[in-house]
Amino acid sequence: MPDKTEGRIPLADLLVFHQLARSLTSSFDLDTILRTILEQMERMVEAEFWALLMLDESTQELYYAIATGDEQKTLGGLRVKPGEGVAGWVLQQGETLIVPEVDGDPRVEQSATPGIQSIRSVIALPLRGRTGTQGVIEILNPRAEMSDYSIAFLHILADHAAIAIENAHDVARIQQLTITDDTTGLYNMRHLYSVLCTELQKSNKHHRPPSLAFWDLDRFKLVNDAHGHMVGSELLALVGRRLQRLSREQDLCFRYGGDEFVVLMPRTAAAQALELTRGMHAALIETPFAMKSGLTIQVSASVGLSTSPADGTHLHEIIGAADARMYTVKRNGRGQIRAS
């Protein structure tokens, strides 16, 4: 981009700024936003390599969210700690780093980037949001000298990108809250209806039966009566997490309401669902749940199973069949599993 000697920004560049802002704020989908940043970077900067690293809030490390060419496949599993290399330094300091000539800079020497034989020059900018630095744009070996004007343009891109990414994260958090149960952290009944409808449609099309297990904790009211609702809520959360850990990776766990849980098993025939549920049931009732108060509580559960299409092809048929079988178990002594 040519250097500007006049005080005013040319109309053509203002239109670019306007288009950039519109593109980055027209979507709340993170992948779309990252692709937009990729397009703008390729248009603005000719470089041997550039990447956008995002902050993993759980580990406080950076990961490569998007990069030039085929390097994304190589970089996918790499993590950068705060203070480590160029991107880690920018994350830690929250400042732009420009190194026109590397010449033994220790921050650059720590940056091992696959596919780059030698790093001669570096530009790295923080993506700063309301809560701090949430990512880094890293450019290695730009093919032309970057003017002050071009650097300023990059800062505008980084600022708009940070706002767009933060908005996308906020929307994702709100969406997660609408499908999550407050007490257990599991998905809620509303999300069950949505996911089960999708699975039933897939089943009708591809003939891959989903199965559903309806769990009800036995005599849970006695826990609330003896120890109070705080302990009861804590126990529900522990049971929910235990069911989640006992489930397979492809299975989904939901709190249906009260002391009732649902485990949805996609692409699982009735015989396999029964075998899996028996294993989960045995493990659950053998689990001692340690309360914060020092109590140790064990639970029992009654379970009803249903499978599509044998038990129906519609949402309420599948849930209703499993629910009815669970109540049959309740009437006949509790603590068992009924699949037919």
Q: Is the peptide bond before 10 cis (omega within 30 degrees of 0)?
A: no
CATH annotation of 11-174: 3.30.450.40
Residue ranges of the chain with per-residue pLDDT less than 70: 1-28, 69-74, 76, 109-117, 176
pLDDT of residue 5: 46
User: Using one digit for the tens of pLDDT, what is the confidence trace for 276-289?
Assistant: 999 999 999 999 99
pLDDT of residue 73: 61
pLDDT of residue 314: 93
pTM of the predicted model, to two decimals?
A: 0.59
Classify residue 249 by burial, with Cβ atoms within 10 Å: 0-12, 13-18, 19+.
exposed
List, in order, residues 6 or more apart from 314 with CB less than 8 Å away: 200
Q: What is the DSSP string of 91-121?
A: HHH-S-EEESS-TT-HHHHT---TT-S----
pLDDT of residue 321: 97
Which amino acid, 282? Answer: A
User: Using one digit for the tens of pLDDT, what is the confidence trace for 189-242?
Assistant: 989 999 999 999 988 787 889 999 999 999 999 999 999 999 999 999 999 999
pLDDT of residue 149: 77
Long-range contacts of 233-239 (CB under 8 A, 24+ apart): 233/183, 234/291, 234/292, 235/289, 235/291, 235/297, 235/299, 236/183, 236/184, 237/183, 237/184, 237/185, 238/289, 239/184, 239/284, 239/289, 239/299
pLDDT of residue 27: 65
In the chain, residues under CATH classification 3.30.450.40 are 11-174
pLDDT of residue 167: 79
pLDDT of residue 71: 59
CA atoms in the 13 A half-sphere facing the CB of 85: 20
Question: What separation in angstroms does the CA of 69 have from each of 74, 119, 139, 196, 238?
Answer: 11, 17, 13, 39, 45
Q: How far apart are alpha carbons 145 and 69 in whole angstroms? A: 22
pLDDT of residue 70: 57
In the chain, residues under CATH classification 3.30.70.270 are 189-338
CATH annotation of 189-338: 3.30.70.270
